[in-house]
Homo-oligomer: A and B are copies of this chain.
Protein backbone atom coordinates (compact mmCIF):
# COMPACT_ATOMS: atom_id res chain seq x y z
CA UNK A 1 0.00 0.00 0.00
CA UNK A 2 1.24 3.44 -0.99
CA UNK A 3 0.83 5.93 1.84
CA UNK A 4 1.57 9.62 1.39
CA UNK A 5 2.93 11.15 4.55
CA UNK A 6 2.49 14.89 5.08
CA UNK A 7 4.03 15.81 8.45
CA UNK A 8 3.27 19.53 7.99
CA UNK A 9 4.16 21.95 10.75
CA UNK A 10 4.84 22.09 14.48
CA UNK A 11 4.37 18.80 16.30
CA UNK A 12 3.19 17.24 13.02
CA UNK A 13 6.59 15.72 12.34
CA UNK A 14 6.99 14.17 15.79
CA UNK A 15 3.58 12.55 15.92
CA UNK A 16 3.98 11.31 12.35
CA UNK A 17 7.17 9.46 13.33
CA UNK A 18 5.17 7.67 16.00
CA UNK A 19 2.41 6.72 13.57
CA UNK A 20 4.95 5.30 11.12
CA UNK A 21 6.57 3.19 13.83
CA UNK A 22 3.20 1.80 14.84
CA UNK A 23 2.23 1.05 11.24
CA UNK A 24 5.56 -0.72 10.70
CA UNK A 25 4.85 -2.84 13.76
CA UNK A 26 1.44 -3.71 12.33
CA UNK A 27 3.01 -4.52 8.98
CA UNK A 28 5.52 -6.94 10.41
CA UNK A 29 3.02 -8.59 12.71
CA UNK A 30 0.36 -9.15 10.06
CA UNK A 31 2.63 -9.48 7.02
CA UNK A 32 1.56 -6.31 5.19
CA UNK A 33 3.73 -3.93 3.23
CA UNK A 34 3.26 -0.18 3.71
CA UNK A 35 5.37 2.18 1.60
CA UNK A 36 5.65 5.74 2.88
CA UNK A 37 6.32 8.74 0.61
CA UNK A 38 6.87 12.03 2.36
CA UNK A 39 5.78 15.38 0.88
CA UNK A 40 5.37 19.00 1.86
CA UNK A 41 2.21 20.83 2.96
CA UNK A 42 1.29 23.92 4.97
CA UNK A 43 3.84 26.32 6.38
CA UNK A 44 6.71 23.95 5.63
CA UNK A 45 5.67 24.04 1.96
CA UNK A 46 5.30 27.82 1.97
CA UNK A 47 8.85 28.15 3.28
CA UNK A 48 10.27 25.69 0.76
CA UNK A 49 8.19 26.41 -2.37
CA UNK A 50 6.15 29.55 -1.70
CA UNK A 51 2.81 27.75 -1.71
CA UNK A 52 0.99 25.75 0.99
CA UNK A 53 0.13 22.94 -1.43
CA UNK A 54 2.79 22.31 -4.11
CA UNK A 55 1.62 20.59 -7.28
CA UNK A 56 4.04 17.77 -6.59
CA UNK A 57 2.23 17.02 -3.32
CA UNK A 58 -1.13 17.04 -5.10
CA UNK A 59 0.13 14.67 -7.79
CA UNK A 60 1.52 12.27 -5.20
CA UNK A 61 -1.75 12.28 -3.22
CA UNK A 62 -3.78 11.58 -6.36
CA UNK A 63 -1.85 8.32 -6.86
CA UNK A 64 -1.96 7.21 -3.25
CA UNK A 65 -4.09 4.68 -1.42
CA UNK A 66 -4.21 6.95 1.61
CA UNK A 67 -2.74 10.14 3.04
CA UNK A 68 -1.56 10.74 6.59
CA UNK A 69 -1.44 14.38 7.66
CA UNK A 70 0.23 15.70 10.80
CA UNK A 71 -0.82 19.29 11.38
CA UNK A 72 -0.55 22.61 9.56
CA UNK A 73 -0.14 26.21 10.63
CA UNK A 74 1.80 28.38 13.02
CA UNK A 75 2.17 32.02 14.01
CA UNK A 76 4.92 32.75 11.47
CA UNK A 77 2.48 32.28 8.58
CA UNK A 78 -0.57 33.97 10.13
CA UNK A 79 -0.08 37.21 8.29
CA UNK A 80 0.28 35.75 4.84
CA UNK A 81 -2.55 36.65 2.45
CA UNK A 82 -5.40 34.19 2.71
CA UNK A 83 -4.65 32.01 -0.32
CA UNK A 84 -1.10 31.56 0.89
CA UNK A 85 -1.74 30.54 4.45
CA UNK A 86 -1.15 26.97 5.58
CA UNK A 87 -4.91 26.30 5.98
CA UNK A 88 -5.45 27.07 2.31
CA UNK A 89 -3.43 23.95 1.56
CA UNK A 90 -5.76 21.92 3.74
CA UNK A 91 -8.95 23.17 2.07
CA UNK A 92 -7.46 22.68 -1.34
CA UNK A 93 -6.28 19.11 -0.82
CA UNK A 94 -9.69 18.11 0.59
CA UNK A 95 -11.44 19.54 -2.44
CA UNK A 96 -8.94 18.23 -4.99
CA UNK A 97 -9.12 14.70 -3.66
CA UNK A 98 -12.92 14.91 -3.29
CA UNK A 99 -12.83 13.94 0.40
CA UNK A 100 -16.44 14.81 1.11
CA UNK A 101 -16.99 12.87 4.32
CA UNK A 102 -15.23 13.96 7.49
CA UNK A 103 -15.56 11.41 10.28
CA UNK A 104 -14.85 12.63 13.80
CA UNK A 105 -15.33 10.03 16.49
CA UNK A 106 -15.51 11.45 20.03
CA UNK A 107 -15.21 8.92 22.78
CA UNK A 108 -14.28 9.37 26.37
CA UNK A 109 -11.34 7.34 27.69
CA UNK A 110 -12.42 6.20 31.14
CA UNK A 111 -8.97 6.83 32.60
CA UNK A 112 -8.87 10.40 31.27
CA UNK A 113 -12.35 11.68 32.16
CA UNK A 114 -11.01 13.59 35.15
CA UNK A 115 -9.54 16.04 32.65
CA UNK A 116 -12.96 16.79 31.13
CA UNK A 117 -14.46 20.23 31.79
CA UNK A 118 -17.78 18.42 32.24
CA UNK A 119 -18.95 16.65 35.35
CA UNK A 120 -18.19 12.98 35.22
CA UNK A 121 -21.87 11.97 35.43
CA UNK A 122 -22.63 14.17 32.41
CA UNK A 123 -19.85 13.03 30.09
CA UNK A 124 -19.53 9.39 31.12
CA UNK A 125 -20.57 6.94 28.44
CA UNK A 126 -20.32 9.47 25.61
CA UNK A 127 -19.42 7.80 22.34
CA UNK A 128 -20.42 9.66 19.21
CA UNK A 129 -19.38 9.91 15.60
CA UNK A 130 -19.77 13.31 13.97
CA UNK A 131 -20.00 13.18 10.18
CA UNK A 132 -19.34 16.52 8.56
CA UNK A 133 -19.81 17.32 4.87
CA UNK A 134 -16.38 18.60 3.88
CA UNK A 135 -16.26 19.82 0.30
CA UNK A 136 -19.40 21.92 -0.18
CA UNK A 137 -21.49 24.65 1.39
CA UNK A 138 -20.32 28.12 2.30
CA UNK A 139 -16.65 27.07 2.33
CA UNK A 140 -16.61 26.77 -1.43
CA UNK A 141 -19.66 28.63 -2.79
CA UNK A 142 -19.34 31.51 -5.26
CA UNK A 143 -19.57 34.49 -5.13
CA UNK A 144 -17.38 35.07 -2.08
CA UNK A 145 -16.33 38.67 -2.51
CA UNK A 146 -16.69 42.36 -1.71
CA UNK A 147 -19.41 44.15 -3.64
CA UNK A 148 -20.65 47.71 -3.96
CA UNK A 149 -17.15 49.27 -3.99
CA UNK A 150 -16.15 47.39 -0.88
CA UNK A 151 -19.20 48.54 1.07
CA UNK A 152 -20.80 45.13 1.16
CA UNK A 153 -19.70 41.53 1.14
CA UNK A 154 -21.21 38.22 0.15
CA UNK A 155 -20.48 34.56 0.82
CA UNK A 156 -22.54 31.80 -0.74
CA UNK A 157 -23.85 28.61 0.80
CA UNK A 158 -24.40 26.36 -2.21
CA UNK A 159 -25.13 22.65 -2.31
CA UNK A 160 -26.02 20.25 -5.06
CA UNK A 161 -28.64 17.67 -4.15
CA UNK A 162 -26.14 14.89 -4.93
CA UNK A 163 -23.62 16.36 -2.49
CA UNK A 164 -26.20 16.17 0.27
CA UNK A 165 -27.34 12.72 -0.74
CA UNK A 166 -23.91 11.10 -0.62
CA UNK A 167 -22.99 12.40 2.84
CA UNK A 168 -26.40 11.57 4.26
CA UNK A 169 -26.13 8.10 2.78
CA UNK A 170 -22.71 7.68 4.36
CA UNK A 171 -24.19 8.69 7.71
CA UNK A 172 -27.00 6.13 7.51
CA UNK A 173 -24.46 3.44 6.65
CA UNK A 174 -22.28 4.43 9.60
CA UNK A 175 -25.29 4.39 11.91
CA UNK A 176 -25.98 0.79 10.85
CA UNK A 177 -22.55 -0.25 12.13
CA UNK A 178 -23.16 1.48 15.47
CA UNK A 179 -26.22 2.03 17.66
CA UNK A 180 -28.48 2.78 14.69
CA UNK A 181 -29.36 6.27 15.86
CA UNK A 182 -28.81 9.23 13.57
CA UNK A 183 -29.12 12.90 14.54
CA UNK A 184 -29.35 15.22 11.57
CA UNK A 185 -28.43 18.81 12.41
CA UNK A 186 -29.67 21.75 10.37
CA UNK A 187 -31.27 25.20 10.64
CA UNK A 188 -34.44 24.33 8.77
CA UNK A 189 -36.40 27.13 10.45
CA UNK A 190 -34.24 29.69 8.65
CA UNK A 191 -32.21 28.29 5.75
CA UNK A 192 -33.56 26.93 2.48
CA UNK A 193 -30.48 24.70 2.21
CA UNK A 194 -31.39 23.17 5.57
CA UNK A 195 -34.94 22.54 4.44
CA UNK A 196 -33.63 20.64 1.42
CA UNK A 197 -31.18 18.77 3.67
CA UNK A 198 -34.01 17.71 5.97
CA UNK A 199 -36.15 16.51 3.05
CA UNK A 200 -33.30 14.37 1.78
CA UNK A 201 -32.74 12.85 5.22
CA UNK A 202 -36.44 11.97 5.33
CA UNK A 203 -36.31 10.42 1.84
CA UNK A 204 -33.18 8.36 2.60
CA UNK A 205 -34.67 7.19 5.85
CA UNK A 206 -37.02 4.96 3.85
CA UNK A 207 -34.01 2.97 2.65
CA UNK A 208 -32.77 2.50 6.22
CA UNK A 209 -35.84 1.54 8.24
CA UNK A 210 -33.69 0.21 11.09
CA UNK A 211 -32.08 3.58 11.80
CA UNK A 212 -33.88 5.88 14.21
CA UNK A 213 -33.56 9.48 13.02
CA UNK A 214 -34.07 12.77 14.76
CA UNK A 215 -33.69 16.32 13.50
CA UNK A 216 -32.11 18.91 15.76
CA UNK A 217 -31.55 22.59 15.03
CA UNK A 218 -27.90 23.62 15.13
CA UNK A 219 -28.40 25.97 18.09
CA UNK A 220 -30.17 23.27 20.06
CA UNK A 221 -27.46 20.77 19.10
CA UNK A 222 -24.78 23.12 20.45
CA UNK A 223 -26.62 23.04 23.78
CA UNK A 224 -27.35 19.32 23.89
CA UNK A 225 -23.72 18.38 23.18
CA UNK A 226 -22.92 19.92 26.57
CA UNK A 227 -25.95 18.90 28.60
CA UNK A 228 -26.46 15.36 27.25
CA UNK A 229 -23.41 14.27 25.25
CA UNK A 230 -24.18 10.63 25.99
CA UNK A 231 -27.46 10.87 24.06
CA UNK A 232 -25.78 11.03 20.66
CA UNK A 233 -24.69 8.19 18.40
CA UNK A 234 -24.09 9.39 14.82
CA UNK A 235 -24.50 13.09 14.01
CA UNK A 236 -24.56 14.28 10.41
CA UNK A 237 -24.44 17.88 9.24
CA UNK A 238 -23.23 20.26 6.56
CA UNK A 239 -19.74 21.72 6.38
CA UNK A 240 -19.87 24.88 8.51
CA UNK A 241 -22.15 23.48 11.21
CA UNK A 242 -19.93 20.41 11.29
CA UNK A 243 -16.83 22.54 11.74
CA UNK A 244 -18.29 24.25 14.80
CA UNK A 245 -20.01 21.25 16.39
CA UNK A 246 -17.15 18.81 15.88
CA UNK A 247 -14.71 21.20 17.51
CA UNK A 248 -17.15 21.85 20.33
CA UNK A 249 -17.53 18.09 20.82
CA UNK A 250 -13.77 17.55 20.78
CA UNK A 251 -13.25 19.21 24.14
CA UNK A 252 -16.04 17.42 25.99
CA UNK A 253 -14.04 14.38 27.02
CA UNK A 254 -10.95 16.25 28.15
CA UNK A 255 -8.59 14.53 25.78
CA UNK A 256 -8.37 16.53 22.57
CA UNK A 257 -4.87 15.17 22.00
CA UNK A 258 -6.33 11.66 21.68
CA UNK A 259 -8.85 12.34 18.92
CA UNK A 260 -8.42 11.15 15.32
CA UNK A 261 -10.25 12.14 12.16
CA UNK A 262 -10.77 10.74 8.69
CA UNK A 263 -11.71 12.54 5.50
CA UNK A 264 -12.80 10.05 2.90
CA UNK A 265 -14.57 9.53 -0.38
CA UNK A 266 -16.69 6.68 -1.71
CA UNK A 267 -13.89 4.52 -3.12
CA UNK A 268 -12.08 4.37 0.23
CA UNK A 269 -9.26 6.79 -0.51
CA UNK A 270 -8.85 9.01 2.51
CA UNK A 271 -6.78 11.49 4.44
CA UNK A 272 -6.24 10.93 8.14
CA UNK A 273 -5.19 13.52 10.68
CA UNK A 274 -5.38 14.20 14.40
CA UNK A 275 -7.93 16.77 15.58
CA UNK A 276 -5.32 18.75 17.49
CA UNK A 277 -3.33 21.49 15.79
CA UNK A 278 0.35 22.06 15.20
CA UNK A 279 0.94 23.23 18.81
CA UNK A 280 3.96 25.43 18.02
CA UNK A 281 4.57 26.04 21.74
CA UNK A 282 5.68 22.44 22.34
CA UNK A 283 6.99 21.57 18.88
CA UNK A 284 10.41 19.93 18.80
CA UNK A 285 10.42 19.11 22.52
CA UNK A 286 9.55 15.44 22.08
CA UNK A 287 6.57 15.68 24.41
CA UNK A 288 3.64 15.84 21.96
CA UNK A 289 0.84 13.33 22.43
CA UNK A 290 1.03 10.97 19.42
CA UNK A 291 -2.24 9.14 20.08
CA UNK A 292 -4.44 11.41 17.93
CA UNK A 293 -2.14 10.68 14.98
CA UNK A 294 -1.80 6.99 15.80
CA UNK A 295 -5.55 6.54 16.12
CA UNK A 296 -5.90 8.36 12.80
CA UNK A 297 -3.59 5.74 11.31
CA UNK A 298 -5.88 3.09 12.79
CA UNK A 299 -8.82 4.76 11.04
CA UNK A 300 -6.83 4.55 7.81
CA UNK A 301 -6.37 0.82 8.25
CA UNK A 302 -10.11 0.42 8.78
CA UNK A 303 -11.59 2.82 6.23
CA UNK A 304 -9.05 2.83 3.40
CA UNK A 305 -7.56 -0.67 3.69
CA UNK A 306 -10.39 -2.66 5.26
CA UNK A 307 -8.01 -3.96 7.95
CA UNK A 308 -10.45 -4.02 10.85
CA UNK A 309 -8.47 -6.37 13.09
CA UNK A 310 -5.28 -4.37 12.69
CA UNK A 311 -7.13 -1.13 13.52
CA UNK A 312 -8.67 -2.74 16.57
CA UNK A 313 -5.27 -3.94 17.77
CA UNK A 314 -3.92 -0.40 17.77
CA UNK A 315 -6.99 0.95 19.55
CA UNK A 316 -6.81 -1.74 22.21
CA UNK A 317 -3.11 -1.08 22.76
CA UNK A 318 -3.86 2.62 23.32
CA UNK A 319 -6.37 1.67 26.02
CA UNK A 320 -3.83 -0.64 27.63
CA UNK A 321 -1.05 1.95 27.71
CA UNK A 322 -3.41 4.42 29.36
CA UNK A 323 -4.47 1.81 31.90
CA UNK A 324 -0.81 1.16 32.64
CA UNK A 325 -0.62 4.81 33.66
CA UNK A 326 1.60 6.19 30.90
CA UNK A 327 0.77 9.77 29.96
CA UNK A 328 2.23 12.50 27.80
CA UNK A 329 2.37 15.81 29.71
CA UNK A 330 -0.92 17.12 28.20
CA UNK A 331 -2.75 14.18 29.83
CA UNK A 332 -0.87 14.08 33.09
CA UNK A 333 -2.62 13.99 36.44
CA UNK A 334 -1.46 12.91 39.87
CA UNK A 335 0.46 9.67 40.27
CA UNK A 336 0.88 8.87 36.60
CA UNK A 337 4.01 8.05 34.62
CA UNK A 338 4.74 11.04 32.47
CA UNK A 339 6.74 10.14 29.39
CA UNK A 340 7.60 11.69 26.02
CA UNK A 341 6.37 11.00 22.52
CA UNK A 342 8.96 8.37 21.74
CA UNK A 343 8.58 6.40 24.94
CA UNK A 344 4.79 6.27 24.94
CA UNK A 345 4.97 5.07 21.33
CA UNK A 346 7.37 2.29 22.35
CA UNK A 347 5.09 1.24 25.20
CA UNK A 348 2.19 1.13 22.73
CA UNK A 349 4.13 -1.09 20.34
CA UNK A 350 5.14 -3.39 23.24
CA UNK A 351 1.45 -3.87 23.91
CA UNK A 352 0.65 -4.78 20.34
CA UNK A 353 2.95 -7.70 19.98
Point out residues on A near B: beta carbons under 8 Å. Answer: 82, 85, 87, 91, 116-119, 122, 138-139, 141, 144-146, 148, 150-162, 187-193, 195-196, 218-220, 222-223, 225-227, 240-241, 243-245, 247-248, 250-252
Within the complex, the shortest CB–CB distance from A255 to chain B, in Å, comes to 12
Residues of B within 8 A of A244 (CB): 218-219, 222, 241, 244
* A160 proximity list for chain B (CB < 8 A): 148, 151-152
For the complex, give the distance between the alpha carbons of A154 and B45 in Å. Answer: 35
Contact A193 B153 (CB under 8 A): yes
Q: Which B residues lie within 8 Å of A218 (CB)?
A: 243-244
Q: Which residue of B lies closest to A222 (CB)?
A: B248
- Which chain B residue lies CB-closest to A121? B117
Whether A154 contacts B146 in the complex (CB less than 8 A), given A226-B117, A251-B227, comes out as: no
| Copies of chain A in the complex | 2
Interface contact A190-B91, CB-CB below 8 Å: yes
A157, A218, A250, most chain B CB atoms within 10 A? A157
- Smallest CB separation, A1 vs chain B (Å): 32
Assess the B247–A226 pair: CB atoms within 8 A: no
Nearest B residue to A245 via CB reads B222
Interchain CA distance A218-B155 in the complex, whole Å? 16
CB distance from A84 to the nearest CB of B (A): 12
For A157, give its contact among B146, B154, B247 (CB under 8 Å): B154
**Whole-angstrom distance between the alpha carbons of A245 and B218 in the complex?**
10
The residues of B that contact A162 with a CB separation of less than 8 Å are 151
Tell me the smallest distance from the CB of A349 to a CB of chain B, in Å: 31
B85, B191, B252: which contacts A144 (Cβ < 8 A)? B191
Q: Which of B87, B150, B157 sits near A156, CB closer than 8 Å? A: B157
Docked pose: A240 CA to B188 CA in angstroms: 13
Q: Which residue of chain B lies nearest to A157 when distances are taken between CB atoms in the complex?
A: B155
Complex Cα distance A261/B218, Å?
19
Given the complex of chains A and B, what is the CA–CA distance between A116 and B119 in angstroms?
8
Q: State how many angstroms separate the Cβ of A76 from the closest Cβ of chain B.
A: 15
Q: Which residues of B contact A243 (CB under 8 A)?
A: 187, 218-219
Chain A to chain B contacts (Cβ below 8 Å), 13 pairs: A82-B195, A87-B189, A117-B226, A138-B157, A146-B192, A151-B160, A151-B162, A155-B157, A156-B156, A218-B243, A219-B244, A223-B248, A226-B248
